[in-house]
C-alpha cells in the first residue's frame, strides 16, 4: 500500500516538473536565442522481488536463457534472460535485463548517452557492477563479452556481468520515476531578418562571448546596442567580446563579414570572437538567454565553422 502511494506521489511530482518546464518553454517562444529545455527523468532503482509464500515457479530465471550482444561503436548493448545486470546509481543498486555500457576515461564500465554531435557521454552514466557488486575497471578498451556473459580484457576473463539470483526471485519492481535534471536543446532556431545593423545571428554552432559582473557568459542572442562609450552591449549592458577585447564602434556605419570581421571604410578593425563549445552539457542557464560554465568545468572548444549574419536574429528553437 505504502509503495503504491509513494509511486503515485513521485509520479505526480515528476509530472508537475514536466509541466513547469513546458510552461517556461512556451513563455519564451518569442525570446531571441532561447533554447528549449527538456526534462530528463530517471526510474527509481529496480529491486529484486521474491515470492515468500505459495508454490515457486519451476524456473523463474532462465539460467540457460538467451544472451544477446550488440556493438554500438565503442559501446556494448546486451540483453539476457539468464539473470540480471547490476548498476550502481545515485539512488542505489539497480537490476535490469538490458545494459548499455562503455569504458570511460578512467577505465570504468559505465552506462552512457550521446551528446549533440553523437559522441558517447558518460558524465551522467551509472557504474556497472560485477555479480559481487564491485565496480568494474579495465586497463584499456580491448574488451569483449564471451557467451557465458563474462567480460574479457585482452582475452582474459576479468568479471562476471550476469547476476543469477536464487529461485525465489521472480522479477524486479521500482517506485516509479523522479526528476533527474533539465537538458537544454541547443539545436538551431529560425533566422529572422530585421535589417538592423547591430542585430547578429549565428548560423551553425557557437556562442557570442560577453563580459558581465558575474564573469564571462555565452549567448545566442545577437540583439546588440551601442552604449555611451561606443561599446557593443546586450540589453543588460554586457559587453560583446572581439579579438581585441570589448567591441567598440563609432556608430552603425560598418559591415560584418560572414566570419565576424567588422569592416569600417573597407578595413577590418576587429572580429567578433565566437566560441564553439563542444561540452555544452557543462553550461548552466543564467536568465533566459545566457549560459555560464559550471564550477570546476573546463571549456572544450573547436574552431568556429559557421557564419555570422548581420541584420538577422535567431529565434527560439521551440516548435
Average pLDDT in the 1-13 region?
A: 57
What is the tally of structural domains in the chain? 2
Q: How far apart are the first and last CA of the chain?
A: 41
State whether 141 and 225 are in the same domain. Answer: no
In this structure, what C-alpha cell is assigned to residue 29? 517562444
Determine, yes or no, domain membership for 1.
no
Whether the CB-CB separation of 318 and 22 falls below 8 Å is answered with no
**pLDDT in the model for residue 183:** 84
User: CA–CA separation, 226 vs 248, rounded Å?
Assistant: 8
**pLDDT in the model for residue 134:** 94
Is the predicted pLDDT of residue 11 greater than 90, yes or no? no
Question: Chain-wide mean pLDDT for the chain?
Answer: 86
State whether 143 and 200 are in the same domain. Answer: no
Beta bridge partners of residue 172, listed in sequence order: 48
State whether 223 and 248 are in the same domain. Answer: yes
CB-neighbour burial class of residue 59 (10 A; exposed 0-12, middle 13-18, buried 19+): exposed
Whether the CB-CB separation of 48 and 95 falls below 8 Å is answered with yes
State whether 165 and 200 are in the same domain. Answer: no
State whether 141 and 252 are in the same domain. Answer: no
Domain limit, last residue, from 140, 174, 208: 174
Determine, yes or no, domain membership for 127.
yes
pLDDT in tens, 14-36: 778 888 889 999 999 999 999 99
Determine, yes or no, domain membership for 186.
no
**pLDDT in the model for residue 52:** 59
Determine, yes or no, domain membership for 16.
no
**pLDDT in the model for residue 92:** 82
**pLDDT in the model for residue 2:** 45
Determine, yes or no, domain membership for 299.
yes
Determine, yes or no, domain membership for 55.
yes
Domain limit, last residue, from 174, 204, 219: 174
Q: Which helix (H) or strand (E) holds 12?
A: helix 2-27
pLDDT in tens, 246-300: 999 987 789 999 999 999 988 999 999 999 999 998 999 998 899 999 998 999 9
State whether 139 and 83 are in the same domain. Answer: yes
State whether 114 and 159 are in the same domain. Answer: yes
pLDDT in tens, 227-256: 999 999 999 999 999 999 999 998 778 999
Q: Which structural domain, as residue segments, surrounds residue 288?
A: 191-314
Is the predicted pLDDT of residue 44 greater than 60, yes or no? no
Tell me which of 259 and 179 has the higher pLDDT: 259
Domain limit, last residue, from 123, 141, 174: 174
Q: Tell me if the pTM is above 0.75.
A: no
State whether 62 and 169 are in the same domain. Answer: yes
In this structure, what C-alpha cell is assigned to residue 57? 515457479
Measured CA distances, 96 to 42, 124, 248, 272, 306 (Å): 14, 18, 59, 50, 43
In the three-class reduction of DSSP (H, G, I as helix; E, B as strand; rest coil), residue 280 is classed as helix
State whether 262 and 205 are in the same domain. Answer: yes
Whether the CB-CB separation of 89 and 126 falls below 8 Å is answered with yes
Determine, yes or no, domain membership for 179.
no
Determine, yes or no, domain membership for 134.
yes
pLDDT in tens, 47-68: 666 655 555 555 555 556 678 9
State whether 167 and 208 are in the same domain. Answer: no
State whether 298 and 265 are in the same domain. Answer: yes
Amino acid at each position: 500500500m505504502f509503495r503504491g502511494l509513494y509511486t503515485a506521489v513521485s509520479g505526480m511530482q515528476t509530472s508537475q516538473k514536466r509541466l513547469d518546464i513546458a510552461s517556461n518553454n512556451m513563455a519564451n517562444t518569442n525570446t531571441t536565442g532561447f533554447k528549449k529545455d527538456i526534462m530528463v527523468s530517471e526510474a527509481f532503482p529496480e529491486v529484486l522481488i521474491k515470492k515468500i509464500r505459495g508454490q515457486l515457479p519451476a524456473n523463474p530465471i532462465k539460467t540457460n536463457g538467451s544472451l544477446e550482444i550488440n556493438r554500438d561503436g565503442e559501446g556494448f548493448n546486451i540483453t539476457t534472460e539468464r539473470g540480471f545486470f547490476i548498476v550502481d546509481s545515485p539512488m542505489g543498486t539497480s537490476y535490469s535485463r538490458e545494459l548499455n555500457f562503455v569504458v570511460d576515461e578512467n577505465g570504468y564500465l559505465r552506462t552512457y548517452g550521446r551528446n549533440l554531435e553523437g559522441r558517447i557521454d558518460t558524465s551522467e552514466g551509472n557504474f556497472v557492477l560485477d555479480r559481487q557488486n564491485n565496480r568494474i575497471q579495465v586497463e584499456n578498451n580491448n574488451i569483449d563479452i564471451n557467451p557465458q556473459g563474462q567480460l574479457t580484457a585482452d582475452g582474459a576473463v576479468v568479471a562476471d556481468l550476469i547476476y543469477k539470483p536464487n529461485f525465489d526471485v521472480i522479477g524486479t519492481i521500482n517506485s516509479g520515476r523522479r526528476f533527474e535534471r533539465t537538458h537544454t536543446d541547443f539545436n538551431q532556431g529560425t533566422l529572422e531578418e530585421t535589417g538592423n545593423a547591430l542585430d547578429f545571428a549565428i548560423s551553425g554552432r557557437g556562442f557570442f562571448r560577453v563580459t558581465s559582473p558575474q564573469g564571462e557568459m555565452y549567448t545566442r542572442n545577437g540583439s546588440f546596442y551601442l552604449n555611451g562609450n561606443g561599446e557593443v552591449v546586450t540589453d543588460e549592458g554586457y559587453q560583446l567580446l572581439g579579438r581585441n577585447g570589448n567591441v567598440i564602434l563609432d556608430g552603425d556605419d560598418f559591415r560584418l563579414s560572414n566570419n565576424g570581421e567588422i569592416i569600417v571604410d573597407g578595413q577590418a578593425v576587429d572580429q567578433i570572437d565566437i566560441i564553439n563549445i563542444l561540452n555544452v552539457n557543462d553550461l548552466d542557464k543564467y536568465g533566459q538567454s545566457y549560459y555560464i560554465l559550471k564550477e570546476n568545468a573546463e571549456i572544450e572548444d573547436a574552431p568556429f565553422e559557421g557564419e555570422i549574419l548581420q541584420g538577422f536574429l535567431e529565434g527560439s528553437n521551440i516548435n
